[in-house]
C-alpha cells in the first residue's frame, strides 16, 4: 500500500492533485485544507497517503500533515463514514473543530456538515470521543483545560439522561435502552457517558 508520495506537483485542483513521482503521475484526492497549504504547480511536494481499495477500485487520498491523515483514519473507522465523506469533513472544518465537536458532544456542529446526519454524529461521539484526544493541538488542550478546570463531575442522573438520549437517537427503543443503561451503571467503576454507552451497546448487541 502507498503511504507516502514525494514528487513534482503537475496539477492542483480544489479536490485533487496530480503528482509526478519518478515519471509516474499519481492522481490524489485531497481535502480543501491541503489544497490551501500546497505550493503552486511545478513545486516539489510531499503528501501523506491513505490507499483505499474497494473491489476493483484503488483510490489515493493525500494530506499535507500526518495529523490530518490520522484524523481521516479515525473518521472512516466509524460506521456510515466513508473516505469521501471523511475527506469532505476535513475540508469543511479544521481538525481542531472536528475534534472539539466530537469531544464536547456538539451534534449541531457535526450535523451542519453535509452528509452527516444525527445518527452518524452520535456514532462519531460514542466511538471516537475517548480515542481522538491524542490528535488535539496544544492550543485545543489548553482551551479544554481552562473550560473544565474545577468543574464538578456530572451526576449519575445527568449521565443516565445523556446516555439515554444518545441511544434513542441511534434508534434503540427507550425501554431497552433504559434497561441496558441500568445494567451498565451497576458494573461500577468510574462512570462517564462514554463508558455507559460502550457498556450499554454491548448489552444491546447481545439482545
Mean pLDDT, to the nearest integer, of 54-73? 91
Domain boundary, last residue among 148, 166, 184: 148
Q: Which helix (H) or strand (E) holds 96?
A: helix 95-103
Contact call for residues 181 and 202 (beta carbons, < 8 A):
no
The percent of residues above 90 in pLDDT, for the chain, comes to 39
Q: Which residue has the higher pLDDT, 74 or 148?
A: 74
Domain boundary, last residue among 32, 48, 63: 63
Q: How confident is the model at residue 152 (pLDDT cuts 50, 70, 90)?
A: very low
Please give the Cα distance from 14 to 31 (Å, whole number): 8
Q: Is residue 44 domain-shared with residue 97, that is, in the same domain?
A: no
Q: Is residue 128 domain-shared with residue 85, that is, in the same domain?
A: yes
Q: Concatenated DSSP letters for 100-163? A: HHHHTT-HHHHHTSTT--HHHHHHHHHHHTTTSGGG--HHHHHHHHHHHTTPPPPPHHHHHHHH
Q: Is residue 74 domain-shared with residue 140, that is, in the same domain?
A: yes
Q: Is residue 74 domain-shared with residue 90, that is, in the same domain?
A: yes
Contact call for residues 135 and 95 (beta carbons, < 8 A):
yes
Q: Is residue 193 domain-shared with residue 160, that is, in the same domain?
A: yes
Q: Where residue 84 sits, what CATH number does that domain have? A: 1.10.150.20
Q: Where residue 36 sits, what CATH number does that domain have? A: 2.40.50.140
Q: Is residue 49 domain-shared with residue 71, that is, in the same domain?
A: no
Question: Could you give the maximum distance between any two Cα atoms of the chain, in Å?
Answer: 63
Q: Is residue 15 domain-shared with residue 37, that is, in the same domain?
A: yes
Determine if residue 57 is left, alpha or beta; phi over 0 gives left, psi from -120 to 50 gives alpha, anything else beta: beta
Q: How confident is the model at residue 107 (pLDDT cuts 50, 70, 90)?
A: confident
Q: Is residue 171 domain-shared with residue 106, that is, in the same domain?
A: no
Q: Where residue 172 sits, what CATH number does that domain have? A: 1.10.8
Mean pLDDT, to the nearest integer, of 122-143? 82
How many domains does the chain divide into? 3
Identify the domain containing residue 57 by its residue range: 4-63
Q: Is residue 8 domain-shared with residue 57, that is, in the same domain?
A: yes
At residue 81, φ and ψ (nearest 5 deg) are -110, 105
pLDDT tens across 6-25, in order? Answer: 999 999 988 999 999 999 99
Contact call for residues 50 and 90 (beta carbons, < 8 A):
no
Q: Is residue 78 domain-shared with residue 141, that is, in the same domain?
A: yes
Handedness of CA 168, 172, 176, 177 (dihedral sign): negative
Residue 60 has pLDDT above 70, yes or no: yes
Q: Is residue 9 domain-shared with residue 35, that is, in the same domain?
A: yes
Q: Is residue 116 domain-shared with residue 171, that is, in the same domain?
A: no
Residue 51 has pLDDT above 50, yes or no: yes
Alpha-carbon distance values, 128 to 76, 96, 137 (Å): 11, 14, 16
Q: How confident is the model at residue 69 (pLDDT cuts 50, 70, 90)?
A: very high
Domain boundary, last residue among 63, 85, 103: 63
Amino acid at each position: 500500500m502507498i503511504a507516502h508520495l514525494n514528487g513534482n506537483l503537475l496539477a492542483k485542483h480544489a479536490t485533487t492533485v496530480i503528482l509526478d513521482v519518478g515519471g509516474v503521475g499519481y492522481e490524489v484526492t485531497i481535502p480543501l485544507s491541503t489544497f490551501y497549504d500546497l505550493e503552486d504547480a511545478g513545486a516539489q511536494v510531499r503528501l501523506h497517503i491513505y490507499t483505499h481499495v474497494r473491489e476493483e477500485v484503488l483510490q489515493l487520498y493525500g494530506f499535507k500533515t500526518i495529523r490530518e491523515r490520522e484524523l481521516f483514519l479515525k473518521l472512516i473507522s466509524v460506521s456510515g463514514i466513508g473516505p469521501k465523506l471523511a475527506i469532505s469533513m476535513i475540508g469543511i472544518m479544521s481538525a481542531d473543530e472536528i475534534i472539539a465537536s466530537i469531544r464536547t458532544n456538539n451534534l449541531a456542529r457535526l450535523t451542519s456538515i453535509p452528509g452527516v446526519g444525527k445518527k452518524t454524529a452520535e456514532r462519531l461521539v460514542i466511538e471516537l470521543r475517548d480515542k481522538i484526544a491524542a490528535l488535539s493541538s496544544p492550543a485545543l488542550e489548553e482551551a479544554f483545560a481552562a473550560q473544565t478546570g474545577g468543574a464538578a463531575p456530572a451526576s449519575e442522573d445527568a449521565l443516565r439522561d445523556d446516555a439515554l438520549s444518545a441511544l434513542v437517537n441511534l434508534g434503540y427503543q427507550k425501554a431497552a435502552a433504559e434497561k441496558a443503561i441500568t445494567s451498565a451503571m451497576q458494573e461500577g467503576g468510574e462512570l462517564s457517558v462514554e463508558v455507559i454507552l460502550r457498556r450499554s451497546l454491548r448489552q444491546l448487541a447481545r439482545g
